[in-house]
Amino acid sequence: MTAFGNRGVCQVNGDGTEHAAHVGADAQFGPLVAGVVAEYGRAPGVNDSVSAFSTTPAFYTLTRSLRDHASARGRLRFASGNTLFYSTGGVAYGKLRSAQTTSNTVNSFTLSRTKDNNYGYAFGGGIEQKTGRNFSVVLQYLYTNLEDDDFRLQVGALASTPTINPFVRINRNGTSFQRTGERFGRHNLGVTAHFRF
């Protein structure tokens, strides 16, 4: 087993703009407001890549991208006039898509999966400002962490691969690659508009 994340590795994180919709319910107890919220969205362009290099020489890059994501969270807020300060946290879901690129042309490469449902947690906080009878604007920070520990890249032998090839010399079945970082974390700073019934 070879792990991406040791010496000779570089990482690239991609940012993107996303959109989401959410619904929730609140109950007020004096200055405290408690509630729940469910959220679903799409996040095109949110990805991270990690690369390694071998002495063959060749490069190997694994990329995972987040597309669909959702969360179900509780919220606890403190009201001060028309402003709410709050914290939020709960469970999270995301669909991660995986891909690989390499300059190695003498081995075969097989992904254990190209997309998967991943689960984890999300927490953060924000400020909600009432701007009308039923409208408010929210500035929110949210950190999401998803488990991603079952991805593997299997490097095998082509028919023309010599027996001295380092990926099949010890084990004829090949070498399995995985990331040392088994979780996918992302930071999100967003502005949303709320309509209250």
CB hemisphere CA count around 104 (13 angstroms): 25
Instruction: Record the pTM.
Output: 0.80
The separation between the first and the last C-alpha atoms of the chain, rounded to the nearest angstrom, is 55
Backbone angles phi, psi at 167, to 5 degrees: -80, -15
> What does the pLDDT average to over 29-54?
88
Q: Is the pLDDT of residue 5 over 60?
A: no
- 111 contacts 153 by C-beta, under 8 angstroms: yes
Minimum mean pLDDT range among 53-57, 67-71, 140-144, 188-192: 53-57
Nearest-5° Cα angle at 120, 119 to 123: 140
- The type of residue at 164 is I
Domains of the chain, each with CATH number or no CATH: 2-195 (2.40.160)
Q: How do strand 32-54 and strand 58-80 relate by DSSP bridges? A: antiparallel
Task: Give the model confidence (pLDDT) of 138-192 as tens digits.
Answer: 999 999 999 988 788 888 877 666 667 777 777 778 888 888 778 899 999 989 8
